[in-house]
Structure 1
Amino acid sequence: MSDANGQPYANGAAYVDGQYYPIGEAKISILDWGYRRSDVTYDVVGVWNGAFFRLDDHIRRFRASMNQLQLSPPESDEEIKQVLTKLIRLSGLRHSYVGMDCVRGTPPAGAPRHPKYARNYLVCHALPWIWIAPKEKIDAGLSLYIAGPRRIPPESFEPRVKNFHWGDLTRGQFEALEAGADFAVLLDEAGNVTEGAGFNIFCVTDGVVATPSRGGLDGITRMSVMELCQELGLPLGVRPVSAEEFRNADEIFGCTTAGGILPATCIDGRILGNGSPGPISSLIKDRFWNKRAEGWLATPIDYDSPL
């Protein structure tokens, strides 16, 4: 779909198996195992003010996820970077949500019906920036709810491999909605918190920051928060965090590519502090976006050179 000026990539751009498309024209086969079995891994990198944030870290994690699932598209890491950059340049977006998927297709006729024999290919897209929640709600603070479904355990599927297995998180999101909360947080079988629906989590008690050590994604924004804690001299523990500790914390915040730092002001109906984002959450949030504005770990995009 083009905009009023006839720009075919105005709503976003996509790359599917070696070809570029306007976002509305990109397709994959409904027979591919990436669709039928969720046999796919992905990553998402943000573009803000015309620059990727931590692009190398996202590509490195994407490749590690592909290796874990024995997925191997023809593109090298450098070629994937070139694809993502071209998508941004085609779209002209200065603030963008940029996804990269590696999809397992199907085995060719006559081959065993085993994933080893299925072709792998790359699917990427660039869209206008997506906030995980409205910006005004992020600024005011989110409401969280510890839902009943337990997170898929690492023994079943390693959560550090980004995946589309969202059945547990989706159930949790419906429970959170029914409870009047914005987002669900899930526990593991031991009763410790793991992660939220699309974001990592932190809590603060007596000035000490903690984040779960098991059961969630090793988020790139989470890594950024850990680095900021060190920079700010904030004590940080990466360890099991019980539901009780989480519910009774002085502050709670999440973090994700699609939103940065996400202060919470309510957990299971309990108002945190005075109902406003806490001082440590706010300090980390402000430092995160200020450093981003200064070009922290940025890869600028050249919009002007020929495509």
Structure 2
Amino acid sequence: MRTVYVNGAYVPENEAKISVFDRGFLFADAVYEVTCVLDGKLVDFDGHIARLRRSLAELKMTLSVTDEELLAAHRELVKLNAITEGLIYLQVSRGEADRDFLFPAEGTPATLVMFTQEKALVKSALADKGQKIMTADDIRWRRCDIKTVQLLYASLLKNEAKANGVDDVWMVLDGQVTEGSSNNAYIVTADGTIVTRPISNDILAGITRASLMRCAEEHQIKIEERPFTVDEAKAAKEAFTTSATGMVVPVIEIDGVTLGDGKPGPVAKRLREIFIQFSRDAAI
């Protein structure tokens, strides 16, 4: 049985409770982050906490817990649950208040919960075989840059993908790919250039995305930030996605169109190796 964190207390998972009046439950008035654990250490922790603070600020939500206290809590959960590879999920809601569309009174304490999940990160069957992707209209709230818990549409798309015998969905806005259901999207052109959509309100600024771009720069791999169409993606030499738990995962098919020889391409495979080593070296 896992030990989880609820508002400063470490408790067995079957004893963890929050109020039915919590705004995260009633309004999805909450934000979250997922920090990976590799070799018992935290990957990109500073980036995740910086994005958490931005999400909180965009929603005018406050959290009295300091970054140092969050780091200590993450490390304590790793220790208590003996996690060597997996993730820590963190969620902050605006707290408990009687149901009202207006925000509760200033000073209402936020609800902070965290828990661990064991997950194989380095050895990935999906990364080895490559993903099959379908596309769908992106009809989400247009503040996709805020990492809220409003994930129902993404969940519906994941289930639609499974029902259609593929692995995931890339969302499309005005004919151009925005991002995957829970990841950033990339293509590789004929000359080896990596193309990914620039940061805006239409996509989440992935922490893994930022680290990957640093890795690519260090290894003199060209990345171009611009929108790309579904047709361009289908004609690409390679494609892949990035996320905290997936790291770098090749794409081998889009809407039934096979990319390259139908196997994970060399650029994506190399980037995955580079990123895993980078994560190991930089984890805290």
Give TM-score, length-normalised by structure 1. 0.85
Query: Is the Cα contact below 8 Å between 2:93 and 2:111 reproduced in 1?
Result: yes
* Corresponding residue number in structure 1 for 2:126: 137
Partner of 1:174: helix, strand, or coil?
Answer: helix
- What percent of counterpart residues are identical? 28
1:44-103 CA distances to partner (integer Å, 9 max, x unpaired)? 111100111111111111111111111112211111111111111111211131011111
Given the alignment of the two structures, is residue 105 of structure 1 paired with residue 105 of structure 2, yes or no? Answer: no
Equivalent residue for 2:61? 71
Give how far 1:106 is off: 3.2
Distance 2:154 2:18 in 1: 25
CA distance in 1, matches of 2:171, 2:120: 23
Confirm or deny: 8 A CA contact 2:19 2:96 kept in the other structure.
Answer: no
TM superposition outliers: structure 1 runs of 4+ over 4 Å:
none
**Residues 1:211 and 2:211 aligned together:** no
Deviation at 1:150, TM superposition (A): 1.7
Q: Secondary structure at the match of 1:107?
A: coil
Alignment partner of 1:120 out of 90, 106, 110:
110
Structure 1 gap ranges (5+): 2-11, 300-307
Residue 4 (structure 2) aligns with: 14
Q: Does 1:185 align with 2:173?
A: no
User: Matched residue of 2:133: which SS?
Assistant: strand
TM superposition shift of 1:34: 0.6
C-alpha change, 1:268 and 1:224, in structure 2 (3 Å) is same
Q: Which residue of 1 aligns with 2:135?
A: 146
Secondary structure of the 2:261 match is coil
Contact preservation (8 Å) 2:85, 2:119: yes
Shift of 1:224: 1.4
Residue by residue over 1:136-166, the C-alpha shift from the partner in whole angstroms, topping out at 9 and shown as x without a partner, is 122111111112x324253xxx212111222
Calculate the TM-score normalised by the size of structure 2.
0.91
The secondary structure found in structure 2 opposite 1:115 is coil
1:236 aligns with 2:219: no
Structure 1 SS opposite 2:25: helix
Tell me which residue corresponds to 1:6: none
Q: Classify 1:281/1:113 alpha carbon distance in 2 versus 1 (closer, same or farther; 3 Å).
A: closer
Shift of 1:116: 4.3
Q: Does 1:270 align with 2:257?
A: yes
Q: Does 1:285 align with 2:272?
A: yes
Q: 1:177 to 1:266 in 2, by over 3 A?
A: same
Counterpart contact for 1:172–1:186, Cα < 8 Å: no
Q: 1:247 aligns with which of 204, 224, 234?
A: 234
**Structure 1 residues 277, 113: CA separation in 2 closer, same or farther (over 3 Å shift)?**
closer
Q: Report the Cα distance in structure 2 between the residues aligned to 1:130 and 1:27, rounded to whole angstroms.
A: 28
* Distance in 2, Cα, partners of 1:282 & 1:76: 38
The 1:290/1:77 distance shift into structure 2, 3 A limit, reads closer
Matched, 1:59 2:49: yes
Provide the rounded CA distance (Å) in 1 between the counterparts of 2:210 and 2:56: 20
Contact 1:13–1:127 at 8 Å: present in 2 too? no
Counterpart CA distance in 1 for 2:139 and 2:177 is 9
Aligned 8 A contact 2:28 2:150 in 1: yes
Post-superposition shift, 1:35? 0.7
- Gap regions ≥5 residues in structure 2: none
2:181 aligns with 197
Residues 210/153 of structure 1: CA separation in 2 closer, same or farther (3 Å cut): farther
| C-alpha distance in structure 1 between counterparts of 2:277 and 2:119, whole Å | 18
Cα RMSD (Å):
2.1
CA distance in 1, matches of 2:139, 2:238: 23
| Most deviating of 169-178 and 12-21 | 169-178
